A and B are shown apart, each in its own frame.
Chain A
Amino acid sequence: MTRFSRIFSQAWLVALLCLSAVSAHAAIDRALLEPLGGDDPDARVEAVGLIAALANDDARKVLDALNRETLYVTPAGDVLVVGDSDAWNPATDETIAIPDDAEDISVNNRLRGVLQGALSGMRLFSDDRTERVAAARSMLRNADPAQLPLVDKAIAKEDDPQVMALLHQVRAIANLASENAEERKQALIALRETTDASLMATFKQMAEKAADGSYAEPDAGVRAEAAKTMAALQSHLRVTDFAGKVFYGLSLGSVLLLAALGLAITFGLMGIINMAHGEMLMIGAYTTYVCQLIFRNYFPDAIDAYLVVALPAAFIVTAAVGIVIERLVIRWLYGRPLETLLCTWGISLMLMQTVRSIFGAQNVEVSNPSWMSGGFTVLGSLSLSWNRIVIIIFSLLVVLAVWLILNKTRLGLFVRAVTQNRRMADCVGVSTGRVDMMTFGLGCGIAGLGGVALSQLGNVGPDLGQAYIVDSFMVVVLGGVGQLAGTVIAAFGLGEVNKFLEPVAGAVLAKIAILVVIIIFIQKRPQGLFALKGRSVE
């Protein structure tokens, strides 16, 4: 096809398009379809764009079929959408038997890209608002001047402000490549409020000198606008980046807090080095898994509620395991912390192996209930996931509960009495053995709750606890032994520091740096952030 004839055919097709739009009959003109089966790649791309602009169901069917490679062409040039048993001819709107000599139309990468753009463009005309939003979003990602007619058509009939705003953005982005300097300038002004980080490279290219010292953008006025828009985007990105780090730091902090809170009781208050603490987290997570299994098998309708059952279940199971360990082993070792450490390590090995033999060495799958999955977007581009938010709130609630138990209940009173002066408490009639048992059970039960939360964020496997044991001890030691507030601040502080260091140093180095800092910190303040003062200090 010569250039002239192509321009001619294009004009002709546009005319046809207008006609078809006016007459609005269902079938697609054969002249539009024919190039799809042809050999000319340019003509095929063009045909896809034109068919997309029809924006009706038939056009969608044809493009869908092309995308799924179920669009066939006969030697006569008829284009057919082939189904399981029969074929549909979009030009005549007839359903016929599949001809034997039809060949499928192959799609190369370039055509595939155009096709994706066209398919999402067509969804702009859907009746469903969310569908239109999604379509506009996906067009933002690969805005192209070729889509302008389609976008303009969509803007003309759009009445929803959000979709409208998105479409205007698509238009502006597409116009950045316009040949008209004024259009480019207007596009840059329109994009002043954009939150899309991927546009940064484009703005930079327009505003700054290229490597060879020449400007890619010939017009100085446009360059100035580009620089302004770039600065606006940069400052916005700094804000979202910061907010993101704060959020992920809080999230990590809440995980550390849940992992360490139980330890703050068993280690901080009772002085028991429980190396099996990580395994309590693991058992909590596996209890969640079992609850999920039970719900999936017996109450599939209420599957979203499994977490509500998992929380008390995990608490009871881990507290029971903790009480058994305390009665059988630990109570013989009070006052011998190093021995307790070795002994509980042995227990942790046995617990891990038990879980491995029951559930297998592989990770098990625990899925978020539907109300915890997904998330929402703030500041334009920062997405916060529900499960992290729920866990941050949950961790604070658990802290509150622990505080209430320790400060407002009879058990809490006994715990504090035994911690401060065991013999005196014994003398006034506190059953110290029973209090020890209950306290250890409480610490383990809280670890079980932490396990439920961990199961919602990451993998659940027999080694789950091992990953947290060093971190948990660091949090408790850093926070100051026996100090609930210290533990909370240490956990969130470590979470934030970690997330702010990570982009600078990389995840592993950040972690190492934090361990080193804690080790140095303990040298300076061996009693932690919140040191006990007075007689209780050794």
Chain B
Amino acid sequence: MSTIVTKDSLFSRPALIGIILCGLVLAALPIMNLLFPYGHTLHISSYTVGLVGKFMCYAMAALALDLVWGYTGILSLGHGVFFALGGYMHGMYLMRAIGKDGVYQSHLPDFMVFLNWSEYPWYWWMTDHFWFAMLLVVLVPGTLAFVFGYFAFRSRIKGVYFSIITQAMTFAFMLLFFRNDTGFGGNNGFTDFKRILGYSITAPETKAVLYLVTLAALLGALFLCRAIVTSKLGRVLQGVRDSESRLMFIGYNPLWFKLFVWTLSAVLCGIAGALYVPQVGIINPSEMSPANSIEMVIWTAVGGRGSLIGPIIGAFSVNGLKSWFTAAFPDLWLYALGLIFILVTLFMPQGILGVVQKLKKRAKEGDAA
């Protein structure tokens, strides 16, 4: 693991071409959905487009997790909270965009009418502006991560302890958001969105645009992470992962490096959540359950952590498997997921990418011999 990551080793030329090709294929899906009518051989169903759109959001979250876990050695069991918070912040705008088309035809969201509230709580201020909600998508998960991380890293909490308290954090947030009085719709969360920036949220064209934006964000995040990981900063981060005390003896203060990457990861995760909500049409507190956050970790682990592209592969393969399993054998999915957890940790510590690399190496050795 201690080999130095350079621009070449992260995405060699063929890998880079592969990524761009995959991006193009993914980008073609919604266009084929729109261009070709239903029944045409080249038609891609809206269901597939929605599913892939969802997976891309998951992939972005897994990528964000890889940045902290794979490259900095900080295992977060609470990234679900950043994902959900990003979603909730965007959800606030979407709820206000419903206008008076709700069940109660009030300017307030239905759940507030139901609670007999007569006006928006203060933290809904300005959320009727799209740009402000987008600002919140970045600021809220970022601030939470910064504050939480500052205290945790300052007192040098690491390893398992950090994982456990991040889990406690997401658990606490889940409890908080389950309350009706918190002002985020309690159990049901936000749903029944009608429009975004004036366009109907259910229209195929809007969905296609959201999909393409998500794809762009995913690719952008991928190359941002690559830039960070291959920079000098990235080397310090890997120093934190491999031997934090040695790094400190050399004279670095790991606090700010860890804090930077941790906050950035939370922000990326929040953006993924914000892109997820309009595509799926619902956000509720169960997204913050500890189980969801651990599932994110397994996406990263399955694909191969510390490789940036691995988590994306992992998110697609695990979720693809999940969609197939829950349709074909709903009772067996948890067994399968459990087995994935066990087998990956026992036999594939570097994930799918690790296996591929090992096979390649063996083939090369075979050639040499």
Contacts and interface: CB of A to CB of B under 8 A. Distances in A.
Given A338-B160, A350-B338, A522 B345 contact: no
B334 A350 contact: yes
Nearest to A519: B165
Nearest to B75: A338
Contacts of A13: none
B297 A342 contact: yes
Contact of A518 (B160, B168, B335): B168
Given A345-B294, A470-B290, A522-B157, A353 B345 contact: no
Nearest to A520: B151
A405 interface: no
A514 B336 CA distance: 35
A508 B176 contact: yes
Interface stretch (A254-262, A329-337, A437-445): A329-337
Interface string B110-142: 000000000000000000000000000000000
Contact of B294 (A342, A512, A523): A342
Contacts of B176: 508, 512
Contacts, number: 112
Nearest to A273: B160
Contacts of A300: none
Contacts of B164: 273, 473, 477
Contact of A347 (B154, B160, B338): B338
B295 to A, nearest CB: 9
Interface residues of B, number: 43
B325 interface: no
Interface string A273-300: 1010000000000000000000000000
Contact of A508 (B148, B175, B291): B175
A346 B161 contact: no
B163 interface: yes
Nearest to B341: A346
B331 interface: yes
B152 interface: yes
Interface string A334-368: 00011111110111111011000100000000000
A342 B293 CA distance: 11
B175 A333 contact: no
A149 interface: no
Nearest to B169: A519
B154 A522 contact: no
Contact of A353 (B157, B335, B349): B335
Which of A342, A466, A524 gathers the greatest number of chain B CB atoms within 10 Å? Answer: A342
Contacts of A341: 75, 77, 160, 163
A472 B366 CA distance: 51
A456 B236 CA distance: 53
Contact of B160 (A337, A515, A519, A524): A337
B342 interface: yes
Interface in A465-488: 466, 469-470, 473-474, 477
B341 A332 contact: no
A424 interface: no
A333 B346 CA distance: 8
Given A342-B297, A342-B298, A477-B164, A470 B171 contact: yes
A516 B172 contact: yes
Given A473-B167, A515-B171, A519-B169, A346 B340 contact: yes
A471 to B, nearest CB: 9
B338 A470 contact: no
Given A347-B341, A515-B172, 15 more contacts: A337-B160, A339-B345, A342-B344, A343-B341, A346-B338, A347-B342, A350-B335, A350-B338, A470-B167, A470-B290, A474-B168, A511-B172, A515-B168, A522-B155, A526-B157
Interface of A: 273, 275, 329, 332-333, 337-343, 345-350, 352-353, 357, 466, 469-470, 473-474, 477, 508-509, 511-512, 515-516, 518-520, 522-524, 526
7 contacts: A338-B163, A342-B341, A349-B341, A518-B165, A519-B165, A519-B169, A522-B155
Interface of B: 75, 77, 148, 151-152, 154-157, 159-161, 163-165, 167-169, 171-172, 175-176, 178-179, 290-291, 294, 297-298, 301, 331, 334-335, 337-342, 344-346, 349
